[in-house]
Amino acid sequence: MPVLPSSPAFRDFWTERRLCTVTTLRPDGTPHVVPMGVVLDLETDRAWAITSATSRKARNLRSAEGTGAAAIAICCVDGRYWSTVEGTAVVLDDPASVAEAERRYAERYKVPRENPARVALRIDVTRVLGNVRD
């Protein structure tokens, strides 16, 4: 059964250009929250993002991957409307995954600047919360 809602309101909310906050956990368990562009794939219950391999969020996720629980939460807010997706993430550095994440990012935001240290984040969504327009 799909996790992500298929309503037009939800789809519109997650395809309009707006930044998200992304929360990962540092090795000591404290939250790390940063603004970031994230793209949902409603067909596969996944989200994609791009970042630098040296970013704190990528390092947080990589350190948690060994435990099998690289937790992540992504929240978009527009006034009183909001949506949060939670799940587990993996950091991918193979060229095909990075190219796929860049392609998706360009569809929602813009063509990303060159970054030879870029990695892709692939998030398997497990929970959705929020209040979006109907």
pTM: 0.92
Cα(27)–Cα(60) distance, integer angstroms: 7
d(CA 104, CA 85): 17
- pLDDT, tens digit, 9 for 90 and up, residues 13-56: 999 999 999 999 999 999 999 999 999 999 999 999 999 999 99
Task: Read off the pLDDT of residues 99-121 as tens digits, 9 standing for 90 and up.
Answer: 999 999 999 999 999 999 999 99
Q: Residue 10, SS3?
A: helix
Domains and CATH numbers, the chain: 8-131 (2.30.110.10)
- Asked if residue 134 has pLDDT above 70, the reply is no
On the question of pLDDT at 66 being above 80, the answer is no
95: left (phi over 0), alpha (psi -120 to 50) or beta: alpha
Yes or no: say if 88 and 123 are a contact pair by the CB < 8 Å rule. yes
